[in-house]
């Protein structure tokens, strides 16, 4: 991996480099996505079936688009019992963590008859997109569905592209059933996002769409936002390791590669105060890349978006980490918890040398759907909050309104909104 001295120039170049990975940088695909969205909106199921045959090579009809109970049962028979046991352990951790995020309605009443409050309601129906193809991620199925389940969403509609045989990967189906999906449909890509956003004869329209996907899925979610809600527009995976001389270089190298193996656009960055550690990590990375199965992908990722930055001080390293705002941030320093208190921007923070990133991906419980390409500066991980909405509650007695009605009328008239003022004034006409 390239080793550079951290200064304002290298930081600026790195940030510009990372921005190239954003879905907003792929405008050339937007016209194709818009065409798919409009076609599905107009032709509904007919378009879904045609696009599934075109892009996935599978023939799907109205009678086969929804996964049946028999197919789910068949999936259980195909999944290794040990993997099922692990998924159930993971699911328990995810449910327990997200249950602590739950918010509830509240009301505050006063003696004069004023009642103010907030009513918290779950979304009625949400859509979960799950990628297909060569990669199979049952962990993402659990992470996207369980928060909705905890929130109390009535209908959780999952969509995922089928294989050429018209079937869905067994591990994906089992994970969806275990997590609590209420319906699963065999459709992927931008056409799946269109189906969830607009509805078709077979697939109901949802209130919100969550879940990762390729550039077509990301741009489709961006395009339908406002018509429905979305979680975020996900970019390629990222990891930043913040380390000092106390870190184990072998652990650091392994952790950097845990994200570099995702795809060629993945980003793996080490920011350290030790040049010696920097060199040792670089050497260990070379050894691992030569041994691990996805070595070619990892090498391209590192060549494009892999960096080792050597900082003069730990504060400089922390400042860089906050500026980069990585999806995953590992802190492997002498006093890691103190360093953590200085971190403002990160999707998930992993503290200590035994808290490697895959712990969060698979098992610990916090959600692994995280903000990418710098959006951790203003976005949060997927949570129960994403599946809840809030309504304000206002109730005044005559006594309470009478005490303030002139203030409200004057405020409204100052804005030249006389009907606003009149709406309050008419309730006290007998006092005039």
Catalytic, 328? Answer yes
- Asked if 156 contacts 148 with a C-beta cutoff of 8 angstroms, the reply is yes
Catalytic, 420? Answer no
> Within 10 A of 128 (CB to CB), how many other CB atoms are there?
26
- Asked if 336 contacts 356 with a C-beta cutoff of 8 angstroms, the reply is no
List 178, 238, 284, 327, catalytic entry: 327
> Within 10 A of 279 (CB to CB), how many other CB atoms are there?
15
Distance CA 320, CA 8 (A): 9
Distance CA 306, CA 302 (A): 4
- Asked if 312 contacts 320 with a C-beta cutoff of 8 angstroms, the reply is no
Write the DSSP string, 175-239: HHHHHT-SEEEE--HHHHHHHHHH--SSS---SEEE----HHHHHHHHHHBTTBEES----S-EE
**Nearest to residue 311, comparing CAs of 1, 2, 6, 4?**
6
List 98, 262, 307, 328, catalytic entry: 328
Distance CA 367, CA 238 (A): 15
- Asked if 195 contacts 234 with a C-beta cutoff of 8 angstroms, the reply is no
- Asked if 2 contacts 308 with a C-beta cutoff of 8 angstroms, the reply is yes
Distance CA 72, CA 174 (A): 7
Distance CA 29, CA 11 (A): 29
Coil vs helix vs strand at 178: helix
Distance CA 197, CA 187 (A): 13
**Nearest to residue 323, comparing CAs of 268, 374, 273, 267?**
374
Alpha-carbon distances, residue 328 vs 35, 164, 238, 347, 369 (angstroms): 35, 35, 6, 6, 10
* C-alpha distance across the termini of the chain, in Å: 81
Distance CA 15, CA 95 (A): 35
Would you name the residues annotated as active-site residues? 327-328
């Amino acid at each position: 991996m390239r080793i550079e001295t951290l200064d304002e120039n290298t930081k600026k170049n790195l940030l510009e480099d990372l921005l190239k990975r954003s879905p907003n940088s792929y405008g050339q695909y937007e016209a194709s996505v818009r065409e798919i969205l409009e076609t599905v909106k107009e032709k509904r199921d007919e378009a879904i079936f045609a696009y599934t045959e075109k892009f996935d090579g599978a023939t799907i009809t109205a009678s086969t688009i929804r996964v049946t109970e028999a197919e789910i049962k068949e999936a259980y028979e195909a999944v290794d019992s040990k993997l099922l046991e692990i998924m159930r352990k993971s699911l328990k951790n995810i449910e327990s963590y997200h249950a602590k995020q739950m918010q509830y309605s509240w009301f505050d009443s006063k003696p004069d008859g004023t009642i103010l409050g907030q009513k918290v309601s779950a979304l009625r129906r949400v859509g979960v997109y799950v990628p297909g193809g060569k990669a199979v991620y049952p962990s993402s199925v659990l992470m996207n569905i369980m928060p909705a389940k905890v929130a109390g969403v009535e209908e959780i509609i999952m969509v995922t592209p089928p294989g050429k045989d018209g079937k869905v990967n067994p591990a994906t189906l089992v994970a969806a059933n275990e997590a609590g999906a209420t319906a699963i449909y065999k459709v992927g890509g931008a056409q799946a996002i269109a189906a969830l956003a607009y509805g078709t004869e077979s697939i109901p329209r949802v209130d919100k769409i969550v879940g990762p996907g390729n550039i077509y899925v990301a741009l489709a979610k961006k395009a339908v936002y406002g018509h429905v809600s979305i979680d975020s527009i996900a970019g390629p995976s990222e990891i930043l390791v913040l380390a000092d001389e106390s870190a184990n270089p072998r652990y650091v190298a392994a952790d950097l590669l845990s994200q570099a193996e995702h795809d060629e656009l993945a980003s793996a960055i080490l920011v350290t105060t030790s040049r010696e550690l920097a060199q040792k990590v670089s050497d260990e990375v070379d050894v691992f890349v030569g041994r691990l199965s996805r070595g070619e992908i990892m090498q391209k990722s590192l060549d494009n978006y892999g960096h080792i930055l050597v900082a003069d001080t730990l504060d400089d390293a922390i400042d860089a980490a906050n500026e980069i705002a990585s999806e995953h941030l590992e802190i492997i320093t002498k006093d890691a918890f103190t360093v953590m208190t200085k971190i403002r921007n990160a999707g998930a923070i992993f503290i200590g040398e035994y808290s490697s990133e895959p712990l969060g991906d698979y098992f610990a419980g916090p959600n692994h759907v995280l903000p990418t390409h710098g959006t951790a500066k203003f976005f949060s991980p997927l949570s129960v909050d994403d599946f809840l909405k809030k309504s304000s509650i206002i109730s005044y007695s005559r006594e309470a309104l009478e005490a303030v009605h002139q203030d409200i009328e004057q405020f409204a008239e100052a804005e030249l909104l006389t009907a606003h003022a009149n709406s309050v004034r008419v309730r006290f006409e007998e006092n005039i």
